Structure 1
Amino acid sequence: MKRACQAGGASRARVRSRSTILVRHILVEPSSSTTSQHDQTFGTSGIAPMERPSRVTRFFMGIVAWAEHLNFKHAKLGNPPVYDNATFPWSAEVEKAAPAIRAELDRILVRKDELPTFQDISTDVKTISSDNGWKTFFLLGFGVKSEQNIKACPDTWNAMQKIPGLTTVMFSIFEPGKHLPAHRGPYNGVLRLHLGLIVPDHQGDELAIRVKDQVCHWEEGKVLIFDDAFEHEAWNHTDKTRVVLFVDFVKPLNFPARLVNWLLMHMAIFTPFIREGLDNHKEWEKKFYAEAEALRNRPN
C-alpha cells in the first residue's frame, strides 16, 4: 500500500491549507511538546484533556503516558508512520476476503441512516467530529464483541481471525464532504488497518488520509496499515460515500513493553472512557435489532 502514499512537500501543504483546526486526541494529560526522533508526540496541546473525577482513572492515564514511551523504545518493527504491507504477511489474506466483506457491507448499508455516528458511541470523539458525516458499525470494540453485528457479518468476522492481537473492528463510513481534522490516536500500543471497500472516483488528493507527512489514498480491496499515534487527518471531498473496514490490532513489541501493553489492554475496559462507549453501543444495538424484528413481523 505504500505505493499509494506520497511524502511531504506540496501534498502536505495542500492538506494543511484545507484544515483550519488542529486537534490532538489522546488519553493523557497535556505536557510540554515531548517528541521522539520520528516526531511522534507524547503529549497534547491546544485541547483540554478528557477529565474524569476518578482517582483510579487519573492513575491509569499516568501509566498510559509512561507506557507510550516504553512502546516506542521497544517496537519490534520500528516506528514508521505507514507500514509496508509485506511487514504483515497476513494482510494478503485480509485482501482476499474483500469481496465477501463488501457483500456484507452492502447489506448493512441498506439501513445506513440508522447507523450511529462515532460520537454517538464514544462521546469524547466530539473533540474531532460533531456532525453526522462519520458513521460506524462495530463488530468488536476495545476487545468486546457485538454478537448481533458479528452474526450479520460472519465472513468479515472470519477474515479478521487472520489478524493477531485484534482489538477493534468496524465499518467506517465517511459521507460526502466529511473532513476529520488533524489529531492523534489515544495510545501507541496498537496499529491501525484500513481495508478499502467503497472508494469513489476522485481527482488528486480530494479523497485521502495524511499520516504525519505521508498522504495516502485508499484503494478498493487493498489494505493500508499505519500508526495512528502519529498526527493524521482524513477527508472525503467527493460527492459519494467512502467506506473502509477499520481495524486496530496490538503493535508488535519486545519485552518488557509487550507485557506492559498486555496488562494495559486488559485494564482499559474498566476505565469510564471505554465503559461509556460500550454502554452506548449496547443501547443502540438493542434499538437497531428491535426495529429489524418489528419489520420482519409486520403483517403484509
Structure 2
Amino acid sequence: MQMTTHDQTPKSKSKPLTKRLKGAINWPGKAAVRKLETVMGHASLIGDTPVFDNSAFPWVARLEANASVIREELEAVLGLQQCLPTMQQISKTQRKLIQTDGWKTYFFTAFGERATRNCERCPRTAALIDTIPDLEEAFFSILAPGSHIRAHRGVYKGLVRAHLGLIVPEPSAECRMAVGDETIHWREGRCVVFDDTYQHEVWNDTDGVRVVLLIDVHRPLPRRLDRLNKTLLRIARMMPFVRDPVRQHRAWEKDFYANA
C-alpha cells in the first residue's frame, strides 16, 4: 500500500479500526466466484448434479426419523403465521422472487447467529439442527396457497441445500420445485438435498400451505478446498448481504417477543 505525505485527515475523524479492517476485506467479485465454483464443481466429493443422494449426508436419516417431532413443534409455530416475517422483510434481495406476502420464515440459525427465542419455542427441533455438521442456515420455509417463487440461482456453490418435507398439501403434483432439469415433489418426512446454484423455481398451486425445514450446509470438498471454502464463508458473515438480513431478523425477533 502506498503512503502519501499530504493526507492531513485528523485522527479523531478516522474510522474505527474494526470498521477499516472490515472495509479492507472484500467478498470476491462475480467473475472470481464463478471460476471458483467451476473448480468446486469438478472437485466436489458429492458430484456436481442438481440433486444429490441423501446417503452422502448421515444427518439426513436422523432428521427424517424425527420428522414427526419437528412437525409437532411446527404446528404451534403455524398458529403465529400471521405474525411471522416474510422472506422479503428479512432479505430485500428476495423481493424480485415473489410478489406477494406468501413466503414466511421462522429462523433457527443463520450464518453464526442463533435465533435464541425461536429455538426455545421449538427446543427439540433446535437440538436436532445443532447435530448437523457445517451448518450455515436453518429455518421453516412456509409457502402460502397459490404462491410462486420465480426462477433464480443461489449465490455460492460452497453450500448445498436440503428440504425436509413437513407439510405437503394435495394434490402433491401441484406443489413442486424445478432444479436444473429435475422436478421435485416433496414428501412429508423425507429430505431432498440439492444444489441451489442450479436454476430453480417453486410453485404451490394448491389450496394448502406447504412447509419445509430448509437447511444450508457446507459442500463436501477435498481438504485444501474445504479450508478455503470455510474461510470464504467466515468472510461472508461480515459482508452487508449477510449482515443486513441478520440485523433485520434480530429486530423482528426483539419486537415480536417483546409483545408476546
Whether TM-score is above 0.5 comes out as yes
- The answer for the alignment partner of 1:67 in structure 2 is 36
Q: Which residue of 42, 45, 48 maps to 1:76?
A: 45
8 Å CA contact 1:199–1:243 kept in 2: the answer is yes
Cα deviation per residue 1:172-210 (whole Å; 9 max; x = unaligned)?
000001111111111110111101111111153x11111
Distance 1:88 1:58, change over 3 A: closer
Q: Distance in 1 between matches of 2:123 and 2:68?
A: 13
SS at match of 1:256: helix
- The answer for the alignment partner of 1:48 in structure 2 is none
Q: Distance in 1 between matches of 2:58 and 2:250?
A: 34
- The answer for the alignment partner of 1:130 in structure 2 is 99
Distance 1:167 1:251, change over 3 A: same
Q: Distance in 2 between matches of 1:203 and 1:277?
A: 32
Cα deviation per residue 1:55-87 (whole Å; 9 max; x = unaligned)?
854646565334322211210111121112222
Alignment of 1:192-211 (within 5 A): 192-202=161-171, 204=173, 206-211=174-179
Distance 1:67 1:143, change over 3 A: farther
Unaligned 5+ runs, structure 1: 1-53, 293-300
- The answer for the alignment partner of 1:246 in structure 2 is 214
Structure 2-normalised TM-score?
0.87
Q: Which amino acid aligns with 1:270?
A: M
Distance 1:108 1:257, change over 3 A: same
8 Å CA contact 1:67–1:260 kept in 2: the answer is no
Distance 1:76 1:237, change over 3 A: same
- The answer for the alignment partner of 1:291 in structure 2 is 259
Cα deviation per residue 1:131-178 (whole Å; 9 max; x = unaligned)?
201000100112321111111111111112332211100000000011
Q: Which residue of 203, 209, 221 maps to 1:235?
A: 203
8 Å CA contact 1:185–1:230 kept in 2: the answer is yes
Q: Which residue of 141, 157, 171 maps to 2:140?
A: 171
Distance 1:250 1:82, change over 3 A: same
- The answer for the alignment partner of 1:160 in structure 2 is 129
SS at match of 1:270: coil
Please say which of residues 172-181 and 86-95 is displaced more in the overlay.
86-95
Q: Distance in 2 between matches of 1:213 and 1:66?
A: 22
SS at match of 1:106: helix
Distance 1:271 1:220, change over 3 A: same
Q: Distance in 1 between matches of 2:175 and 2:192?
A: 14
Unaligned 5+ runs, structure 2: 1-22
Q: Distance in 2 between matches of 1:273 and 1:172?
A: 20
8 Å CA contact 1:192–1:225 kept in 2: the answer is yes
Q: Which amino acid aligns with 1:112?
A: Q
RMSD: 1.7
Q: Which amino acid aligns with 2:150?
A: P
Q: Which residue of 80, 83, 95 maps to 2:64?
A: 95
Q: Distance in 2 between matches of 1:119 and 1:192?
A: 19
Q: Which amino acid aligns with 1:266?
A: R
Cα deviation per residue 1:205-261 (whole Å; 9 max; x = unaligned)?
x11111111111101111111111111111100011000000001110013321110
Q: Distance in 1 between matches of 2:57 and 2:222?
A: 16
Structure 1-normalised TM-score?
0.75
- The answer for the alignment partner of 1:282 in structure 2 is 250
- The answer for the alignment partner of 1:23 in structure 2 is none
Q: Which structure has the larger Rg over C-alpha atoms?
A: 2
Q: Distance in 1 between matches of 2:24 and 2:145?
A: 42
State yes or no: 1:215 paired with 2:175: no
Q: Distance in 2 between matches of 1:161 and 1:291?
A: 28
8 Å CA contact 2:138–2:215 kept in 1: the answer is yes
Q: How many residues align?
A: 238
Q: Distance in 2 between matches of 1:284 and 1:103?
A: 24
Distance 1:166 1:59, change over 3 A: closer
Q: Distance in 2 between matches of 1:198 and 1:155?
A: 18
